[in-house]
């Protein structure tokens, strides 16, 4: 059963989520780093980077190799809250081509249970994981179309408007791991964020060991139109609207 309107309102009332309008649709940006589309009963998450810890250990990095389990457990909790019909993982779900093979028994079991539980689990191919192993379950696409919206890992400036769409193609993407900072009262916060303009919506990275690119960086300012930009900071599972740069 999908999340109810009453439950969504409760999340919004407690700063756990905010409604966001993008490409003529209303989405729910959750403070835990996922995006929910009520009209499609679909939940979007990006940049899980499973097995980054085990990958980094090859280079004598002292990171504990517990990131995949922690990421899966957080995702499981959110999916339990929303119970969506469709789950979209927006690329770089595995940190590298061998990530799935390095997963432990507990992680594989939990992942298999999740992909089997939901009606339509979609892996979008990313630059870290251009090919998703069949053992991960679900189905794999390069791009998913929702009317005039394209869901993909990286932005595509050459993207065509889908046939029959009433407006130009908008894109929901991951890849950049955006982060920002803001003041709430007298306190200063920094963390991952959602950032968007009228045509491009960039998801935060969800993975346990994912860093970030500040929204003021040249890479992101070149992508987003200043007059249209909106930004939402994530901090301790809450979400805060930030003033555009």
DSSP string over 204-236 = PP-STT---EETTSHHHHHHS-GGG-EEEEEET
Nearest to 230 by CA among 216, 219, 222, 241: 241
Q: Is the pLDDT of residue 166 over 50?
A: no
Mean pLDDT of 38-49: 96
Name 30's bridge partners.
17
Confidence at 238, pLDDT banded by 50, 70, 90: very high
List the single range of 52-66, 193-207, 222-236 with lowest mean pLDDT. 52-66
Dist CA 245 CA 243 (whole Å): 7
Q: Spell out the domain ranges in the chain.
A: 5-242
Q: What is the pLDDT of residue 51?
A: 85
Mean pLDDT of 40-44: 97
Nearest to 128 by CA among 47, 209, 60, 67: 47
Mean pLDDT of 21-47: 97
Which segments within the chain are labelled E, that is strand? 17-22, 25-30, 35-37, 42-45, 86-89, 120-124, 139-141, 144-146, 149-151, 170-173, 178-184, 187-196, 200-202, 213-214, 230-235, 238-242
User: DSSP alpha helices (H): ranges in 14-103?
Assistant: 52-57, 67-82, 99-102
Render the burial of 91-127: b for 16+ CB within 10 Å, e for the rest: bbbbbbeebbebbeeebbebbeebbeebeebbbbbbe
Structure tokens given for 41: 């009963």
Q: What is the pLDDT of residue 63?
A: 64
Dist CA 108 CA 43 (whole Å): 21
Dist CA 11 CA 149 (whole Å): 25
DSSP state of 15: T
Confidence at 102, pLDDT banded by 50, 70, 90: very high
pLDDT tens per residue, range 169-187: 899 999 999 999 887 777 7
Structure tokens given for 184: 């709430």
Share of the chain above pLDDT 70, in %: 89
């Amino acid at each position: 059963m999908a999340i109810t309107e009453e439950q969504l309102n409760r999340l919004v009332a407690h700063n756990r989520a905010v409604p966001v309008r993008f490409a003529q649709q209303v989405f729910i940006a959750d403070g835990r780093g996922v995006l929910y589309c009520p009209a499609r009963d679909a939940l979007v998450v990006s940049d899980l980077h499973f097995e980054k810890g085990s990958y980094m250990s090859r280079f004598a990095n002292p990171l504990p190799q517990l990131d995949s389990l922690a990421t899966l457990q957080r995702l499981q909790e959110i999916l339990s809250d929303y119970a969506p019909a469709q789950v979209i993982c927006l690329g770089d779900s595995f940190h590298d081509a061998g990530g799935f093979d390095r997963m432990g028994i507990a992680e594989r079991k939990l992942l298999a249970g999740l992909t089997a539980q939901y009606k339509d689990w979609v892996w979008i191919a990313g630059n870290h994981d251009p090919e998703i192993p069949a053992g991960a379950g679900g189905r794999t696409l390069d791009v998913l179309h929702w009317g005039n919206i394209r869901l993909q890992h990286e932005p595509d400036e050459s993207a065509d408007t889908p046939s029959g769409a009433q407006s130009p193609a908008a894109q929901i993407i991951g890849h950049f791991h955006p982060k920002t900072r803001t003041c709430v009262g007298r306190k200063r916060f920094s963390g991952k964020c959602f950032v968007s303009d009228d045509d491009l919506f960039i998801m935060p990275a969800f993975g346990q060991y994912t860093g970030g690119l500040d929204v003021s960086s040249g890479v992101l300012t070149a992508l987003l139109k200043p007059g249209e930009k909106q930004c939402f900071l994530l901090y301790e599972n809450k979400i805060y609207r930030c003033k555009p740069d």
